[in-house]
Structure 1
Amino acid sequence: MRRVAVALAVLLVLASVPLPVTAHANHITAGAQVTPDGTLVVDGIYLTSDGYLTVHRDDGGEPGERIGVTEVTPRSFRSNLRVGIDQRAWEGWETGDVHLLVRSDDGDGTFDPETDPVIESFGSPVAATITVEKGDRAVVTAAQQYTQQTRRGTLDVRSLTTPTDGYLVVSNTDTGERVGTESVAAGTHEHVTVALDGDERGDVRLDATLHRGDGDGGIGEPLRAGETPVGATFTVERTGGGRGGSTATSTPTPALVTTPTASETGTTSETGTAGTTTGEPTSATQPGFGLLVGGAAIALLVSGYRRQ
């Protein structure tokens, strides 16, 4: 019975540990953004093998002409990866959607759209569709691989860039209720902490969007790429009540270039999602994983009693 109790304890601990939302499957997230030079910031990406990320114009809701490509290092979660829209396409750019497609290399180490296929997951392409507008840079990234846990009722936003003084507003994705705000100065900020209202516990999806000031010290309209607010979506597990957040510290805006060379950083922090994605694997924080572990624990317990 002692062995059963130990095994049961291990399983229950596993059920409570935050695991990668992407579960080490091919995955990409990105959000609507404004860019001055055609350089797009991809929130997060993971490939299980050598591959590429291609950018395509929208053609009636489907990927059309390819207008950008970058190589992606496999087997490592990459955040804030840059991919440039080709200069010729960018010169006459009009606000619209682009499709980001994840492709696998056919083994020759050279990109060829004819032989390097789009990766699929659960029957759908691993891709993201985002709105892109030309202008002063505005972007928010979650850039997180694990469900974000908070005991103090705060949300950590990995990075953001805003062209104007304003606010980062956090709302419940499902209800639209505003649950937190933080003032931000124009520029680039890392790890912005936003205090969340309420003391409820459990998993919740939150949208963090950039807003202008209204001129009187209040919150104005959201910054948009076309008609889409600039922001990111997070999955958060609240395990405790709220406290006050800290003011973001401004850092110099990094120079971005429109080249197909990836500029990326790895991360092992918490997970969020951003933008519209397809081919996204089931989250380890969703009911399926917990039920499997819970079921195994019950089976062990019953087995132990039967041996008595």
Structure 2
Amino acid sequence: MTRRLLAVGCLLALAVATMAGLAVAHGNHATAHPQVSANGTVVVEQAFLTERGYLVVRADDDGTPGRVLGARPLDRGLHTGTSVQIDASYWRAVSGNATVWTVLHADDGDGEFDPADDELLRWFDRPAGERVQVGKRDGAGYVLTAGGSGADGALLVERVALPAQGHLVVHERTNGTLGAAHGSRALRAGTHANVSIPVDLSGNRSTWPSLSVAVHVDDGDGTFDADDPVVRVAGEPVASPVGTSGAVTTSSVAVNTPAGDGGRDAPTRTQPGSATPTTSAGGAGFGVLTAVVAGALALIVGRRR
């Protein structure tokens, strides 16, 4: 009897853990990283909405989301590389860098964004989004790793923009700091899609160290070396970690990928091919929970017999 009850308890505990994992995987969130822009276009690497809503850029107000600077509607699901154009008058007043929030708001059903009616969504009791540094420069600069699929000595980056001729560099990442370089790809100024970077790492991605992909400016010799500085905004590198915001289990939820940057920072040159969202429809879902609960019930029924 005791062993049977213990087994039932373990199964139910597994069910609770499964549900908790689903809640995290499917929670509303928006991920953005330090970037530079020529016209106030802010690019969000990934946004996930459980219901239709809005991706909103807001000014920073002493560490919390403040004035609304721009918004765009998003359907339910996973979106990668979504851009929002912020208010022109605000951008004209920016000198150097700006701190903004990229957050998600609910839709009250009228199809028009109103921050008074379309509430700010939260994730783990925090705004569903990121506080991000945006630098005002002559060109766009950002990295969308989207998980950074890779094998056989190469890493594939979904999309990148360089404000000037430079290099896309794969760095080892330790405690959020860029470390040794493990590979690079020279690129012209502009936006590029599906960029493959050769890396000096062997084996499967699961055996690689933590990595980030960063934008560097070329010093004029066309070859990446220590003299090619990383592009920074308020001291933070224009970079994106690999593997922290890529594949997301969305089950039957739609995946949406915008066709372009949505602003004057749109691609001027791209690699052959088009960006493809990374998603998995075969991950843990409510079917797992059902199986676990069914197993627990079977043990209980078996005991009664």
Identify the residue that residue 158 of structure 2 maps to in structure 1. Answer: 158
Aligned-partner residue type, residue 103 of structure 1 = H
Aligned position for 1:208: 213
**Whole-Å separation in 2 of the counterparts to 1:211 and 1:21:** 37
Alignment length (residue pairs): 238
CA distance in 1 between partners of 2:68 and 2:211 (Å): 32
| Partner residue of 2:136 out of 117, 125, 134 | 134
Q: 1:40 to 1:125 in 2, by over 3 A?
A: same
Unaligned runs of 5+ residues in structure 1 are 1-18, 237-252, 259-264, 272-283, 304-308
Q: Distance in 2 between matches of 1:159 and 1:254?
A: 10
- In structure 2, runs of 5+ residues without a counterpart are 1-20, 245-259, 266-273, 300-305
CA change 1:58–1:233 in 2 (3 A) is same
Q: CA 1:196 to 1:86, structure 2 compared with 1: closer, same or farther past 3 Å?
A: same
Q: Does 1:97 align with 2:104?
A: no
| Contact 2:30–2:48 (Cα < 8 Å) also in 1 | yes
In 2, the alpha carbon distance for the partners of 1:211 and 1:49 equals 38
> For residues 104-149 of structure 1, what are the alpha-carbon distances to aligned partners after superposition, in whole Å with 9 as ceiling and x for unaligned?
11233322212211112222221111111112223333263xx555
In the alignment, is the contact (CA less than 8 A) between 1:142 and 1:233 conserved in 2? no
In structure 1, how many angstroms separate the alpha carbons of the residues matched to 2:37 and 2:213? 19
Q: In the aligned structure 2, how far is the partner of 1:188 from the partner of 1:21?
A: 35
Q: Any idea what the Cα deviations from partners look like across 1:284-306, whole Å, max 9, x if unmatched?
A: 99xx99xx99xx8xx9xxx9xxx
Please provide the CA RMSD for this pair: 3.5
- Who is 1:241 aligned against? none
2:232 corresponds to which of 220, 224, 227: 224
- CA displacement, residues 199-257 of structure 1 (integer Å, 9 cap, x when unaligned): 25426432111111223434311112232211211118xxxxxxxxxxxxxxxx97725
| 1: CA distance, partners of 2:157 / 2:232 | 18
What is aligned with 1:73? 75
**SS in structure 2 at match of 1:177:** strand
SS at match of 1:90: helix
Deviation at 1:83, TM superposition (A): 0.6
Partners of 1:180 and 1:195 within 8 A in 2: yes
- Say whether the 8 Å CA contact 1:31–1:131 is kept in structure 2: yes
- TM-superposed deviation, 1:163: 2.5
**Corresponding residue for 2:111?**
109
Supply the distance in 2 between the matched residues of 1:30 and 1:160 (Cα, whole angstroms): 13
Aligned counterpart for 2:200 among listed residues 188, 192, 197: 197
Q: CA contact under 8 A between 1:45 and 1:78: conserved in structure 2?
A: yes
Change (3 A) 1:153 1:82: same
- The Cα offsets for residues 81-104 of structure 1, whole Å up to 9 and x where unpaired, read as 121111111111131210111111
SS at match of 1:235: coil
Taking structure 1 as the reference length, the TM-score comes to 0.67
**Bigger relative contact order, structure 1 or 2 (CA pairs below 8 A, ≥6 apart):** 1
Q: Is the 8 A contact 1:138 1:160 kept in 2?
A: no
- For 2:199 and 2:163, how far apart are their aligned partners in 1? 25
SS in 2 for 1:106: coil
Q: Is the 8 A contact 2:46 2:80 kept in 1?
A: yes
Is 1:184 matched with 2:191?
Answer: no
Mapping of residues 41-56 of structure 1, within 5 Å: 41-56=43-58
Decide which structure has greater helix share. Answer: 2
| Aligned equivalent of 2:86 | 85
Q: Against the structure 1 CA distance between its residues 196 and 113, is the aligned structure 2 distance closer, same or farther, given a 3 Å change threshold?
A: same
Match of 2:252 in 1: none
Q: Map residues 33-48 of structure 1 onto 2, 5 A cutoff.
A: 33-48=35-50
Identity rate, percent: 29
2:56·2:105 contact (CA, 8 Å) conserved in 1?
yes
Q: Which amino acid aligns with 1:182?
A: R
Work out whether residues 33 and 133 of structure 1, in 8 Å CA contact, stay in contact via their aligned partners in 2. Answer: yes
Q: Note if 1:234 corresponds to 2:242.
A: yes
Distance 2:231 2:23 in 1: 28
Q: Distance in 2 between matches of 1:177 and 1:21?
A: 35
Identify if the C-alpha distance between structure 1 residues 266 and 178 changes in structure 2 by more than 3 Å, giving closer, same or farther: closer
